Each structure stands twice: as structure tokens, then as C-alpha cells.
């Protein structure tokens, strides 16, 4: 039995310039993440809003992805890669404090 920690990360559907992120770009991220962590599941698209430190309001659609993380030391690399890959100011990632098991 393999034990994982469940994290959720919110991936953008558009670049900050407003351009739609091509599916191929998402596929590259999916492949990199599946190699970095134990696995992932795309949970669907949601609409969200957030404010940066300058009080600028952002409204956007995001893809919620459940990550099965076998080594929590990988999380800083997940955040760094995701921010760079999608050219984002910030990335929302949530530690759900749930364990998952695959047998």
C-alpha cells in the first residue's frame, strides 16, 4: 500500500496577458507533475477571484487539480514550476490534510 498526502492546486486557464492557455501547454504541465508527485486528478474548472498586494482584483477561471504527493519536500518545486510554466504572479495550493492510499 502506498500512502500519499492530498494537495489541491489551482491552475489558470489564461495567461496574465489574457491569452487562452493551449491544451498542449496544460499537457506539458500534467506530464511534469505526474513525474514529480505520485499522481494527479483534474477535478474541473471553477471561477474565482483574488486580490494581490496592490489591491488589484483578478477574476479568472481555474482548473482544480488534486495532487497525490508522496514527498512533501516536492511542494516548493511544484509551486516554482507551476508559476514559471504558467507565467503567474502567484499560485494557490492547498494542503487538504488528507491522506490517500493506493493498493
Q: Whole-angstrom Cα distance, residue 57 to residue 41?
A: 28
Residue 68: name the closest of 19, 92, 45, 34 by CA.
Answer: 34
pLDDT for position 52 = 83
Q: Whole-angstrom Cα distance, residue 102 to residue 45?
A: 25
pLDDT for position 44 = 96
Q: Which CATH class is domain 2-98?
A: alpha beta
DSSP category for residue 52: -
Q: Whole-angstrom Cα distance, residue 61 to residue 49?
A: 9
**Contact predicate 80/32, CB 8 Å:** no
pLDDT for position 79 = 98
In tens digits, the chain (103 residues) has pLDDT values of 999 999 999 999 999 888 999 999 999 999 999 999 989 999 999 999 888 888 988 889 999 999 999 999 999 999 999 999 999 988 999 999 999 999 9
pTM for the full predicted model:
0.90
pLDDT for position 56 = 87
Q: Whole-angstrom Cα distance, residue 53 to residue 73?
A: 27
Q: Whole-angstrom Cα distance, residue 49 to residue 30?
A: 24
pLDDT for position 53 = 85
pLDDT for position 38 = 87
Amino acid at each position: 500500500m502506498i500512502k500519499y498526502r492530498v494537495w489541491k492546486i489551482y491552475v489558470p486557464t489564461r495567461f496574465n496577458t489574457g491569452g487562452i492557455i493551449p491544451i498542449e501547454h496544460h499537457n506539458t504541465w500534467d506530464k511534469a507533475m505526474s513525474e514529480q508527485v505520485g499522481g494527479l486528478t483534474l477535478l474541473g474548472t471553477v471561477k474565482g477571484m483574488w486580490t494581490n498586494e496592490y489591491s488589484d482584483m483578478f477574476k479568472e477561471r481555474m482548473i482544480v487539480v488534486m495532487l497525490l504527493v508522496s514527498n512533501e519536500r516536492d511542494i516548493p518545486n511544484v509551486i516554482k514550476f507551476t508559476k514559471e510554466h504558467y507565467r503567474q504572479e502567484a499560485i494557490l495550493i492547498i494542503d487538504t490534510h488528507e491522506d490517500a492510499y493506493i493498493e
